[in-house]
Amino acid sequence: MKFSTPEKKSRRRFLLGGLAATGALIVGWGFMPARPRLNADEPIPTENGEVALNGWIRIASDGSVLLAVPQSEMGQGVFTALPMLVAEELDVSLGMVRIEQAPIDKIFGNVAVLQDGLPFHPDGGGTLKEIARWLTGKAGRELGLMITGGSSSVKDLWLPMREAGAAARAMLVAAAAKEWGVPVAECRTADGVVNHVSGKRAAYADLAGKAVGSAPRDIRLKKPGDFKLIGTAQPRRDAREKVNGGAVFGLDVRPPGTLYAAVRMCPVIGGTILHADGDKVTAMPGVVRVVDFSGAAAGMAGVAVLARSWWQAKLAAAALPVTWSDAGNAKLSSEAIFRELAERLDRESGHTYYHAGDPDLARDAASTVEAEYRAPFLAHATMEPVNCTAQVSDGKVTLWASTQVPSIAADVAARVAGVRHENVKVHVTYIGGGFGRRLEVDMVAQAVAIAKQADGAPVQVIWSREDDMTHDFYRPAALARFSAALDASGRVRSYRNKLASGAITHQVMERTFGLIGAGPDKTTAEGAYDLPYEFPYQHIAHVSVPTPVPIGYWRSVGHSHNAFFKESFIDELAHAAAKDPVEFRRELLKRHPRHVAVLDEAVSRAGRPAPGRAHGVALHQSFGSIVAEVAEVSIEASEIRVHKVICAIDCGMAVNPNIVAQQMESGVIFGLSAALFGEITIADGKVEQQNFHDYPVLRMDRAPTVETVIIGSAEPPEGVGEPGTPPIAPAVANAVFQLTGTRLRSLPLRL
């Protein structure tokens, strides 16, 4: 496995810094061709007669195809969808493709996730947007950041993996044609075999050695009409071992001689450790030593107890006398943060993300509608708590991590251990719930810092649920204000939206890469500035308000709250205009037929609500996909009950419709948990929620039926892991308004 050297890391920092600070790179560099993504910097190691045809594909002696997959499997189905891309172009059955973890190499870097972070309106075009996407894509290939996030896995690898399969197929066909002395055009492939019209045939395994090293020619990707596998519903390949217990998650790793570490971290946000009296617990059963890991990563402060079992470590950590410093945050509270958000909205104009039309259109308005919406901090609450296993021995580091960012994890491990990058080996396990929490590498830095003092033994760091809940990187709290002007016929003439929240990417750039976050952060306003509604005048701005609270990427990120704000206010406007909410949206989408088609399909499938219930509608585009949801809701004993959700999605080509439906169901349930219950509150500088008793999630007996409708499309695939989450909160809130006449403008939704 190849890792970037310190010199390459400095180049990475330069590129990241250039993108963050200026959004552009050196002009001369920009005109150079982009790095190709077919062959790795270092050839993939082979064994047992395997033959590597490119950086992604090896052919084994038994004819099976070994595919290097850089993405992490965290329940989103990439271990099924990605092999389908290669199997389609290589003309093999899906069962012939075996998955192996990709080494850390630039060809595996996620380009799409960086391009999608550019703050351009989806309807906008122009040279600036194209140049920015080109430069960002080119920089992404140089950075080689291996990231599973942003609903980008299939989107990013749609072409590279298909090209790898098509190139390998072309090489195998050329080798057969050369051996037989026949034209390539007379050869066909099927089920891992090259066939000639004369009846000659050769298996890929027999041809691979003859094809290796040749330059593939006449590489042609299949057209959607020729797909045999892509677009068909396939069962999850990871399901069996997850059911029978064979799947290995981060907590399942057990290297020989493993020691366990339980942690104590300052209960006050941003606090530091003053003193820990390790002598008080070293005599407890199983305890090996007490380790201070403060400073291993930006803002990290705490101490760990290392023991023979985690329970021994946990008991000792609980008994460990620790003196903390609150770093001046002892008076921090949620309400103080919301007061600051409101004050900043009062006095600052913020950064304008989108502006179109003539503001004078509002002068002759017959009426105006104003509203303020609010969303709280949210925890990720993954089923598998934070953990990481690390071994530091003989100048080398081995990691076993359920991470969404293996290349960044390797960088952090090398820095903390003080070793070269090529001396770090990362084993990526299944992830028991990512949702953005595993984009962070705090647990990696922590584990390596502790393992450095374990005399070469592997160390598994495990956080309790309370550790996890109180030391997360939270979805930001946000405040949004709207103002709209309507004419006498109920048409919206002017639409204004100004928001305030923290900027996630600014924090991430600083704590992960040591760079100062600057410029607009798309995550703050996504879902607000990029709306499809065709208002004659619109102005959307955001005020960035830093706070000491650590914030991070939460499933669907800014869309998660901005969709609630925007789609709820759209319903308010429909009510003010005395129009049906669905028809009101249709009138605003005359130049967006794909959005109308999704909306109409969801509404049609939903039909009429059952007696005593109401339908609420929401339409939202995120991560390239358009989703409309209709929630059927009732009020039972003053509680909101969601019975059924119809979810229609246009995600471009649905590589595996089965997985798309699963992800929509997952997104709805995840979003509904947050909509009805999710709230992290802070008092006296401390997070108040500790576990699922005070941070509840939706239980099975309260889960609605979710029906997914996939709109057929031959367009390239867009994201599906996150787009199901944003529309559910406003759909439910809009249904509650239909039932009660009460407009709920704050999350979680409470009557």
Region 472-489: mean pLDDT is 97
Per-residue model confidence as pLDDT tens digits over 717-726: 999 999 999 9
Q: Is the pLDDT of residue 98 over 80?
A: yes
Q: What does the pLDDT read at residue 546? A: 97
The residue among 118, 537, 511 whose CA lies nearest residue 365 is: 537
**Per-residue buried b or exposed e for 574-585, using 16+ beta carbons within 10 Å of the residue's own CB:** bbbbebebbebb
- pLDDT the model gives residue 536: 96
| Residue type at position 231 | G
Q: Give the C-alpha separation, 478 to 342, whole Å.
A: 10
Q: How far is 707 from 728, CA to CA, in rounded Å?
A: 13
On the question of pLDDT at 2 being above 60, the answer is no
Query: Looking at residue 149, what is its pLDDT?
Result: 98
**Alpha-carbon gap, residue 177 to 169, rounded angstroms:** 12
Query: Mean pLDDT throughout 545-562?
Result: 98
Neighbours of 269 (CB within 10 A): 22
Q: Residue 3 pLDDT more than 50?
A: no
Nearest to 16 by CA among 353, 556, 518: 518
pLDDT bracket for residue 43 (50, 70, 90): confident
Residue 31 pLDDT: 63
Q: Per residue in 710-743, is it b (16+ CB within 10 Å) or e — as a string?
A: bbebeeebbbbbbbbbbbbbbbbbbbbbbbeeeb
- Provide the percentage of residues in the chain whose pLDDT is more than 90: 92
Residue 501 has pLDDT above 70, yes or no: yes
For 706, phi and psi rounded to 5 degrees? -120, 120
68 vs 71, 92, 414, CA distance in Å? Answer: 9, 16, 23
**Mean pLDDT, residues 597-611 taken together:** 98
Contact of 735 with 632, CB cutoff 8 Å: yes
CA 596 to CA 277: how far, in whole Å? 64
- Alpha-carbon Rg for the chain, nearest whole angstrom, is 27
- What is the set of domains in the chain, with CATH numbers? 34-110+145-243 (3.30.365.10), 250-327+386-462 (3.30.365.10), 334-378+473-740 (3.30.365.10)
- Residue 566 CA to residue 729 CA, distance in Å, equals 11
Q: Is the pLDDT of residue 642 over 80?
A: yes
Pull the structure tokens for residue 371.
């509203």
How many whole angstroms separate alpha carbon 128 and alpha carbon 107?
A: 26
Backbone angles phi, psi at 14, to 5 degrees: -65, -45
Question: 397 vs 217, 245, 279, 297, 416, CA distance in Å?
Answer: 41, 28, 29, 17, 10
Alpha-carbon torsion 26, 32, 33, 38, what sign?
Answer: negative
Q: Would you say residue 384 has pLDDT above 80?
A: yes
Residue 183: strand, helix, or coil: coil
| Average pLDDT for 509-521 | 92
What is the 3-class SS of 94-161, one letter each residue?
HHHEEEEECCCCHHHCCCHHHHCCCCCCCCCCCHHHHHHHHHHHHHHHHHCCCCCCCCCHHHHHHHHH
Task: Compute CA 662 distance to the chain's CA centroid, rounded to the nearest angstrom.
Answer: 16
- Rounded distance, CA 301 to CA 299, Å? 6
With contact defined as beta carbons under 8 Å apart, do 721 and 741 qualify?
no
pLDDT at residue 174 is higher than 50: yes
CB 341 within 8 A of CB 477: yes
DSSP letters, 216-268, are: P-S--PPPGGG-SSTTS----TTHHHHHHT---BGGG---TT-EEEEEEE-SB
Please give the single-letter amino acid code of residue 257.
Answer: G
Pairing of strands 705-710, 322-325: unpaired
Token pair of 383 as six digits: 């089923």
Amino acid at 646: I
Q: Residue type for 33, please?
A: P
Task: State the amino acid at position 574 in one-letter form.
Answer: A
Range list of β-strands (E), 508-638: 538-544, 614-622, 625-636
Q: Does residue 24 carry a pLDDT above 60?
A: no
Phi-psi region of 491 (alpha: psi -120 to 50; beta: other; left: phi over 0): beta
Q: Cβ atoms within 10 A of the Cβ of 146, count? A: 26
- Confidence (pTM): 0.95
Q: Give me the helix-helix angle, 204-211 and 153-180, nearest 10°.
A: 90
- Taking residues 633-653, report their average pLDDT: 97
Task: Return mean pLDDT, the chain.
Answer: 95
For residue range 261-305, list pLDDT tens digits in order.
Answer: 999 999 999 999 999 999 999 999 999 999 999 999 888 999 999
